[in-house]
Amino acid sequence: MTPATAICLAGAAGLVLGGALPAASRAAAALRAGLTLQALGAALLGVGGVAILAAGGTTGAPLSAQIRPALGLDPLSGLFLVVLGLTATPALLFARGYLPGGHAPRAVAVLTAAFLLSLAGLLAARDVTTFLGFWEAMTIVPAAAILAARRDDEARSAVLLYLGITHLGGAGVWVALLALVLAGPGGATGTLIAVAALVGFGTKAGLAPLHAWLPRAHPVAPAHLSALMSGLMVKVALYGLIRVELEWLAPAPLWLGLVLMGLGLASALGGVLYALVQGELKRLLAFSTIENVGIVTAALGASVVLATAGEPEWSAIAFAAGLLHLVNHAVFKTLLFLGAGAFERATGGLDLDRLGGLLRRMPWTGGAFAIGLLAIAGLPPLNGFASEWLVLQSMLHVALDGAIGISLAGAVALAGIAATAGLAALCFTSVFGLTLLGAPRRPEVAQAREAAWPMRAGMVLLAVPCVVLGLVPGLVLPVLVDLAPSAGTVPATPGLDLPATGSLPTAALAIAVVLVAGLLVAARGRRRAAPAPAWTCGQRVVPELSWTAAGYAKPLRLVLEAVLRPRRRLEVTEAAGVVTGVDYASEVALPVDRFVSEHAARHGLRGAAFVRRLQTGNVRTYAAYLLALVLGLLALARTGALG
């Protein structure tokens, strides 16, 4: 057994013990100790992942399309174990302060451990059976955790939708993997496998148009589970996508690359656009997950396209760009969901227009949340910018190196990703302002207290990689490039010093911004007149009249009215010519809901009503079914149809 395997096994043991402890004892101390053990286990898994990446090569069984159970690890699993460690450790630390105040904390703690174990098991699965087993566990366990923590109808219907869509879509995973076992990649089956895997993994990753469950299910979970679902689970779905589409089916065909780019782009633009029109923080964050999954998928698609265009080096860089964005998004999305959980606990609600001024009241939580927002908005010098820069460069090289059609696709993708970055900046500036700045807009918000120390520690722990990965992405990039299916090498410098770019010395830029801004602050001096109210044409600035999320997104809504097609409802009640009340509501429905899901639900219910007639509850009917089945099978065996 290699040291890396031993560390990973110790980590898994930590998760098992950490889950068993709160299951065995009702004591509050057992819950805390269990979560600490789990955090330790997750951290060990992360360390094990680093060890595997450092050692290179495979330990345990090699990956194969067999049905005989086998476990093992290779560098790609190692990277995802690192992501698991990076996100789950702080999330569990956070849960240590967060869970005791919620519903059914023990059940949720146990299920959290089971969830992480199924994720780790999925990463270690080397054969189809084990993979599918852990895959199903990964889908079902968070649903159980949500139902344990929340009893309301909203959560129930969200979970039902989540299970429904991910199972229907997840059939694609089964089809793809079983087809791999039966026929192996290549030929017509290769196409079938590629499409089925795209549907299966795409659903779970939240790729448009199969994403309808994600913005409903992620927000209803307890904060640390929302964080793990958005930060980690969708990434593991992308892991499956990479395994099947880019590894088993290697070399992936050009059409697959273009499809991935197209789906990715649609998800990126659609995700951020719908994030912008949300009024609730966690729902907004869930939509932004769709956006970032889209960016990663588009980069993976670019990698395939570049490989077919005979550019192995840029293909590897595009692949690494996708992975780096995946790691970055895992970090800051986990941070943001944890922050949202802390705000919810402190203020009792996450309606974006009913928060405000939290940076002053909760400096630690607010500060970490601010770093996460600036990182996800893709601003230098944080990590989001580094990976988006790489993705932009990948798209540009698709446009530079391809034939005319591919070149155009690359150009469209480049413009789309640039616009996505602009939309994300708009979206998260507004979130920053609405939650952290300005005056509090509810009495509870004004009374908000800083979160407990484990919660703060979890969030600060996540803010650190946002900064570090932004300063020295170039130290991580060569590792990621090595994971790519096509060969390529990049120099290991702190910044991103790539051929055919002007190079991005991230650390130097960061230092220069801080230094120059610092000098300018010093030059400005301290001479200030007495504070005066802000200028609003002589009116006073009152919290009730302050700007809303909808107000800030209004120019964009007006520009994109034809795309978003909001449904508005305005009711004015009048009494004797005097307006006594105005009720206004507007909603932007997802196109997939409007055109697909609503019809699918109607027909599905009709179908269910029909099927229910078969279930009479009468024993004799069931006996007749059994008899018919046996007779049918016998007949089939007789005719030789069953072999």
The interface mask with another protein, positions 333-372, x = CB under 8 A, is: --------------------------xx------------
State yes or no: residue 69 binds another protein (CB under 8 A): no
Stretch that binds another protein, among 86-94, 119-127, 332-340, 547-555 (CB under 8 A): 547-555
Half-sphere exposure of 442 (CA within 13 A, CB side): 18
- Residue from 392, 463, 481, 588 touching another protein (CB under 8 A): that is 392
Q: Which of residues 436-465 bind another protein (CB under 8 A)?
A: 437-439
Q: Which of residues 129-188 bind another protein (CB under 8 A)?
A: none
- Residue 69 phi, psi (nearest 5): -55, 135
- Strand runs (DSSP E) across 169-257, as ranges? none
- Of the pair 443, 533, the CB lying nearest another protein is at 533
Closest CA to 124 of 65, 61, 49, 72: 72
State yes or no: residue 23 binds another protein (CB under 8 A): no
Stretch that binds another protein, among 316-324, 452-460, 482-490, 551-559 (CB under 8 A): 551-559
Identify the H or E element spanning 36: helix 28-55
Identify the H or E element spanning 49: helix 28-55
The interface mask with another protein, positions 555-594, x = CB under 8 A, is: xx-xx-----------------------------------
State yes or no: residue 637 binds another protein (CB under 8 A): no
Stretch that binds another protein, among 43-51, 64-72, 430-438, 606-614 (CB under 8 A): 430-438
Separation between Cα atoms, residue 266 and residue 505, nearest integer Å? 31
Residues 491 and 477: beta-carbon distance below 8 Å: no
CB of 279 to another protein, least distance (A): 16
- Amino acid in position 180: L
CB of 408 to another protein, least distance (A): 6
- Of the pair 314, 319, the CB lying nearest another protein is at 314
With vertex at residue 599, the alpha carbon angle to CA 593 and CA 601, rounded to the nearest 5 degrees, is: 85
Stretch that binds another protein, among 28-36, 318-326, 373-381, 578-586 (CB under 8 A): 373-381
CB of 61 to another protein, least distance (A): 42
- Residue from 6, 545, 623, 633 touching another protein (CB under 8 A): that is 545
User: 473-482 vs 383-401: helix axis angle to the nearest 10?
Assistant: 50
State yes or no: residue 538 binds another protein (CB under 8 A): no
State yes or no: residue 541 binds another protein (CB under 8 A): yes
For tokens 């520009």, the residue is: 559
Compute how many other C-beta atoms are within 10 angstroms of the C-beta atom of residue 351: 14
CB of 339 to another protein, least distance (A): 17
- Of the pair 513, 630, the CB lying nearest another protein is at 513
Separation between Cα atoms, residue 114 and residue 106, nearest integer Å? 13
Residues 335 and 376: beta-carbon distance below 8 Å: no
CB of 549 to another protein, least distance (A): 11
- Of the pair 226, 308, the CB lying nearest another protein is at 308
Q: What is the SS3 assignment for 26? A: coil
Q: Which of residues 502-531 bind another protein (CB under 8 A)?
A: 502-505, 508-509, 512-513, 516-518, 520-521, 523-525, 527-529, 531
State yes or no: residue 402 binds another protein (CB under 8 A): yes
CB of 461 to another protein, least distance (A): 23
What letter would DSSP give residue 308?
H
CB of 342 to another protein, least distance (A): 20
State yes or no: residue 296 binds another protein (CB under 8 A): no
- Residue from 1, 29, 188, 404 touching another protein (CB under 8 A): that is 404
Q: Which of residues 472-501 bind another protein (CB under 8 A)?
A: 495, 497, 499-501
Q: Which of residues 101-120 bind another protein (CB under 8 A)?
A: none
State yes or no: residue 125 binds another protein (CB under 8 A): no
State yes or no: residue 252 binds another protein (CB under 8 A): no
Kindly give, in sequence order, each residue whose CB lies less than 8 Å from that of residue 17, ignoring residues fewer than 6 positions away: 34, 37, 41
CB of 537 to another protein, least distance (A): 7
Q: Is 92 exposed, middle or buried (0-12, 13-18, 19+ CB in 10 A)?
A: buried
Distances (CA, A) of 432 to 126, 231, 353, 514, 544: 43, 20, 12, 21, 18
Closest CA to 511 of 527, 494, 499: 494
The token pair at 617 is 């509850």
CB of 510 to another protein, least distance (A): 10
Separation between Cα atoms, residue 118 and residue 107, nearest integer Å? 16
CB of 512 to another protein, least distance (A): 6
- Amino acid in position 391: V
- Of the pair 84, 417, the CB lying nearest another protein is at 417
DSSP 319-378: HHHHHHHHHHHHHHHHHHHHHHHHHHHHHS--BGGG---HHHHSHHHHHHHHHHHHHHTT
- Of the pair 167, 354, the CB lying nearest another protein is at 354
- Residue from 407, 450, 464, 592 touching another protein (CB under 8 A): that is 407
CB of 374 to another protein, least distance (A): 8
For tokens 């026929």, the residue is: 183
- Of the pair 123, 490, the CB lying nearest another protein is at 490
Count how many residues are written for the chain: 643
Separation between Cα atoms, residue 505 and residue 473, nearest integer Å? 10
Stretch that binds another protein, among 67-75, 165-173, 277-285, 538-546 (CB under 8 A): 538-546
State yes or no: residue 254 binds another protein (CB under 8 A): no
- Of the pair 520, 641, the CB lying nearest another protein is at 520
CB of 245 to another protein, least distance (A): 27
- Residue 278 phi, psi (nearest 5): -85, 150
Q: Give a three-class secondary structure readout of 323-336.
A: HHHHHHHHHHHHHH
